[in-house]
Structure formats: C-alpha cells, structure tokens
Amino acid sequence: EAGVTQFPSHSVIEKGQTVTLRCDPISGHDNLYWYRRVMGKEIKFLLHFVKESKQDESGMPNNRFLAERTGGTYSTLKVQPAELEDSGVYFCASSQVASGKNIQYFGAGTRLSVL
C-alpha cells in the first residue's frame, strides 16, 4: 500500500512567486493534515481536512496560504505570493480515526526555499 506522497520534494522560488504543493494521502484516509517546520523550530500544525471540508485551519499563517482538497482525495497548498519567511519543510499527514487512536502517517515533506 502506498504511503503519503508529496510533490515536489524540493522547490526553490523567488520572493513574490507562487508555489503549489501537493499531497496524496493514503487511500481511504478521511483525515488530511498540513504541517510546517521552519528551520530550528518545532513542527507546527497548519490545517486539518476531514474529507473535503476544512475541520480546523487555525494554524494557517495568513491569507497568502490557500489549501484545498477537492473531492476529498489529494490536497494542494498554495502560497501566493511567497515571502522569505515561508521557507521551511511542509509536511502532509493522513489518518483514519479508529478505536481512540489517531496515528498520523506522514509524507517525506516538501522543502520550500524562498530566495
């Protein structure tokens, strides 16, 4: 069974440009999460989808970030326009809540470098 996949693995863009990150969760997982790790800091929650609906987007930094999950399958996270402080590693995770556990399975992450 395929794990969580993220694309691209690394993106280098200039300040002011737009970048779109993609996440394909594990098939059948209703929950999809986005996280970000800025260098040297903790991994921070960005938002949570349940199927195609945004359950919690309290971690989204500002309105330059837009996440979508059309059809409840893959998700995209667009940053427009990108700023220097957006650099970091963006992780996606998916899970299927069962029996009080919620093990989130993570992708390899997309390393975003804004120059």
Partner 1 sequence: SQQGEEDPQALSIQEGENATMNCSYKTSINNLQWYRQNSGRGLVHLILIRSNEREKHSGRLRVTLDTSKKSSSLLITASRAADTASYFCATYSGGYQKVTFGIGTKLQVIP
Question: Where on the chain is the footprint of partner 1 (CB under 8 A)?
Answer: 3-4, 6, 31, 33, 35, 40-45, 48, 50, 55-56, 91, 93, 95, 97, 100-109
Name which of 20, 24, 1, 2 is nearest 11 in CA terms.
20
The torsion defined by the Cα of 18, 73, 91 and 97, in degrees rounded to 10, comes to 150
Q: Which is nearer to partner 1, 17 or 89 (CB)?
A: 89
Q: Which is nearer to partner 1, 58 or 62 (CB)?
A: 58
Q: Which two tokens stand for residue 31?
A: 């929950």
**Minimum CB separation from partner 1 for residue 28, in Å?**
17
Q: Which is nearer to partner 1, 47 or 82 (CB)?
A: 47
**Minimum CB separation from partner 1 for residue 42, in Å?**
5
Asked if 115 contacts 16 with a C-beta cutoff of 8 angstroms, the reply is no
Name which of 33, 40, 51, 50 is nearest 90 in CA terms.
33
**Minimum CB separation from partner 1 for residue 15, in Å?**
25
